[in-house]
Structure 1
């Protein structure tokens, strides 16, 4: 059987790799194939290391599913470079997680009724990728019937980071953070802290969803199957 490799960005957060491995293990079990996790940065193994682990198990082929939402620098440059460095095994690159209807449905299902929704991505300097995230936010708003605003975790300006969340809190009775995160991350921890401060300062109801984690398993399975058809 063709093995599965998930390829995440990687994180310094101590719990991030546990989340990625849980996704990978569950997807591999659902598919009935060997599955290993790999990471672009911060976390071992990298893709070459994961590929070698499969070679050591006598696998000749694997599908690589990037755990990436945007088609930006990491997807366009880092992922192809990582695949080029892997040796001894044929790697088939599948589509990443993306920001399509399946992701929108996952996010919408997490939204509590009555709250303004802050869709919280890492953020990107790629204009097309940023526009896709705005479209995702608009779709979540359609599915929930609730105001949904994209508040990126990086960059500067009033619509980002803590300032962006505070701007939403100024005219919202309740604020809920919807992280566009695969697993735990330091930027997500920051947002949780900001929400606590906002609640203390304004008195509004605040809440947040966890990272998507194993809710992503059916999407990973779908990406794998689509690449092997």
Structure 2
């Protein structure tokens, strides 16, 4: 009650469930994951990839049909070298469609064989531990091997992708898990396929700026999130 007799309402301040990076370097900062958001993302990726595969297949088929038609419609015109070049240029489009379905089948096999982990990443003084979608075991990256993450938009949603130092691979000292097929498909995607990204931002239980703070804290300012 105020001095003039008016009742003042007290509003409880609601704060988000955000964990500040721990001060103790012996602790780790854990980023959880929203299972439902990840499953929805999987379906979006699957649909978009198949749609794109059929579009590229249609373009390739049209190009090949046009080249064959030109060969028979204009015999002796000297167009056969150009027709053959057009056919050769269209073949990768058809192959990319086949590749889409093969990769999706492999990816579904990874999903069926491995449960979706409740934790997306652990950040500690030793480095990063990443639970990639479809991977059988976590990816371990010491700080000298990683620059952090890059944030960008894929298929209409913001994603985080790991940024490795130049020359870092599965055989680099201290690195573990980069040789898993599901990890390779994200870290070094096939140029014929659209990249899918590593972590869906809205599926993480910590905001990007807090993850960035944790990365800089544990890596002594070496790693962070680049937008």
TM range (shorter): under 0.3
Structure with the higher fraction of residues in helix conformation? 1
When normalised by structure 1's length, the TM-score is: 0.26
